[in-house]
Structure 1
Amino acid sequence: MLFRQLFDAESSTYTYLIADHTTKAAVLVDPVLEQVERDLKLLKELGLILHYCLETHVHADHVTGTDRLRQATSCSGIVPDRAHVACADRHIKDGETLHLGDITITAIATPGHTDSHMAYLVNDDRVLTGDALFIRGCGRTDFQSGDAGTLYDSVTKHLFTLPDETLVYPAHDYRGHTVSTIGEEKRWNSRFAERDGRGANRLRHRPSFIEFMNHLNLPDPKKIMEAVPANEMCGHLAATA
C-alpha cells in the first residue's frame, strides 16, 4: 500500500493519498482546492489512477478540490451519508467499504463535529479520523448541526474501541503533529481524558466533555461563508468563480 500524508499550510489540512501498488488505483481523502495541481503532479509522477475523492465531512475551513479533480481525472466524488451534497457521485454509509486492489477502506460514522461525518479505517491498522478526533484534541461542535454529546459518543464508542495500536491520522493539525495512536489518545487527549484523584488517567465523563465543548467560544473559520456552500457543490462554486 502506498500511503502519503500531504499538508495545506493555510488551512492546516491533511490530505491523504492512498493507492494499491499493483493496480495503481488511488483515492485522495479530503483534497484541498489550492493543492489540486500538487496532487495531480504527484499522481502522474507515481503512475497512479485516481478512482475516488473521499470526504470525511463538509468542511468549513477550506474548499474541496473534488470538482477540479473530477474534471481532470474522471474520478468519483464520495461524501458521507446524509451530507447535503447533491453533486456527489456516491454517499457512503456506516460500515460500507471501498476497495482499491488489496486495500480496504471502511466507513465509520462519527457525527458530532458535523451531523454527517465519517472516519475511515484503512486495512484495519490506521484510521483517518477527520475532525472527530485530532492528535490531543478534537473538532469543534458549535456549527453545522454539531453536537458535543454526539461527538463524545462517536469517539468513545466507535474510535476508542479500535485496537490501541491503530494509527490515528486526523484531517487537521495546528501544533506540528502528524500521527498518533488510539492508545495514546485514550490516555493523553485532554478533551477525552483526565486525571483522577490518584494521578491516573481516565476517560472524562460525558457531561464534563459537553460543558467544556460548549464554552470554547471560538471564532468562526475564516472561510466558512465561502467553504460550506462551495463544498455542498463539490467545490464547483469556487472553481468557477
Structure 2
Amino acid sequence: MGSFSTLSRSSSRLLFRQLFENESFTYTYLLADISHPDKPALLIDPVDRAVDRDLNLVRELGLKLIYAMNTHVHADHITGTGLIKGKVPGVKSVISKASGSKADVFVEHGDKISFGNLFLEVRATPGHTVGCVTYVTGDGPDQPQPRMAFTGDALLVRGCGRTDFQGGSSEQLYKSVHSQIFTLPKETLVYPGHDYKGFTVTTVGEEMLYNPRLTKDEETFGSIMQNLNLPYPDMIDVALPANMVCGLQD
C-alpha cells in the first residue's frame, strides 16, 4: 500500500493532492474543481494496489470522480483505472489513442479534458512509449498559476524514462521534451510519473538547466540512453498485457 504525501496545493478553485505508491515508486495525482457545485475530480496514473486509498480520499473530500487517466501504458505496475471503474459507476478511463490500449476516452495532441471550470491540455510526448502524453493545466486567467505539467515518464526529476522497449525512441523523446515541455513557461511545475530519490516536483526551468540527460545535444542524449543497460522491469510481463485492457484482464 502506498504512503500518503502531504504535498497539497489549492488555488481558490483547484484542489490538488500528490499520492505515492511505494512498491513501484509511482505518483498518482488527484485534481478537482472545488468551486464547482459537483466538485468534479480526476486521477492521473492510479495504481491498482492503492485504489482503495485513493477512492477513500475522494470520498472524504466530497469529490465526484469523473476521470481515471493514464499518461501511457505502464510497464512497472498495473493501472488502477479498471478497478476504479468497477467501484465507482460513471468514471471514464482516459488514455492516448496512440497507445493502442483500451479505454472509454481516447485523447490526441491538442485535446482538452474539462473538469468543472478547469481543464487539462493534452500534449503528445512519445519516446518512452509510442503513446505517452503530458497533461498540462490550462492556460488562462481563471486557471491555476503557475501551470502544472504531469509528464508521466517522459520527463522525470533530473532524468527521463527509458527508451529501449514499447516502441521507445531516444530521438523521439528528445524532440518531445524539447518541443512540448521545455516550451512551457519556466515556472511551470513538473510532476513526474515516478521518483526513486525522494523528489516530488521540479520546474521546467530547473530541468532545462540541470537535467543531466536532456541538457545535452541530441546525439549525446541518444548515446546516454543507448548505454543505460537497465534490467528488464520486474512487472513488465504482468503489467503490459493488463494495462492494454485498462488494468482488467478477463
Alignment TM-score > 0.5, same fold: yes
Q: C-alpha root-mean-square deviation of aligned residues, in Å?
A: 0.9
1:19 equivalenced with 2:35 (yes/no): no
- For the residues of structure 2 that align with 1:48 and 1:163, how far apart are their CA atoms? 30
1:37 equivalenced with 2:59 (yes/no): no
Q: AA paired with 2:197?
A: R
Structure 1 residue 123: deviation in Å?
2.9
Q: What is the TM-score normalised by the length of structure 1?
A: 0.92
Which residue of the partner structure matches residue 221 of structure 1?
233
Structure 1 residue 142: deviation in Å?
0.3
Structure 1 residue 102: deviation in Å?
1.9
Once the two structures are superposed, the pairs formed by residues 122-137 of structure 1 within 5 Å of their partners are: 122-124=137-139, 125-137=147-159
Question: Identity over aligned residues, as a percent?
Answer: 48
| Aligned counterpart for 1:59 among listed residues 74, 82, 88 | 74
- For the residues of structure 1 that align with 2:33 and 2:237, how far apart are their CA atoms? 37
Which residue of the partner structure matches residue 83 of structure 2?
68
- For the residues of structure 2 that align with 1:81 and 1:109, how far apart are their CA atoms? 10
1:176 equivalenced with 2:198 (yes/no): yes
SS in 2 for 1:37: helix
Can you list the C-alpha shifts for 1:138-159, whole angstroms capped at 9, x where unaligned? 0000000100000000001111
Q: What is the TM-score normalised by the length of structure 2?
A: 0.89
Q: AA paired with 2:105?
A: R
- For the residues of structure 1 that align with 2:200 and 2:117, how far apart are their CA atoms? 25
Structure 1 residue 103: deviation in Å?
1.1
1:148 equivalenced with 2:170 (yes/no): yes
Q: AA paired with 1:81?
A: K
Q: AA paired with 2:28?
A: T
Structure 1, unaligned stretches of length 5 or more? 194-203
Moved runs in structure 1, 4+ residues, more than 3 A? none
Structure 1 residue 122: deviation in Å?
1.1
Structure 1 residue 72: deviation in Å?
1.0
| Aligned counterpart for 2:100 among listed residues 41, 64, 84 | 84
Which residue of the partner structure matches residue 235 of structure 1?
247
Which residue of the partner structure matches residue 197 of structure 1?
none
- For the residues of structure 2 that align with 1:136 and 1:8, how far apart are their CA atoms? 20
- For the residues of structure 1 that align with 2:135 and 2:94, how far apart are their CA atoms? 12
Structure 1 residue 127: deviation in Å?
0.3
Can you list the C-alpha shifts for 1:127-176, whole angstroms capped at 9, x where unaligned? 00110000000000000010000000000111101110000000000000
SS in 1 for 2:98: coil
- For the residues of structure 2 that align with 1:232 and 1:11, how far apart are their CA atoms? 18
Which residue of the partner structure matches residue 224 of structure 2?
212
Q: AA paired with 1:46?
A: L
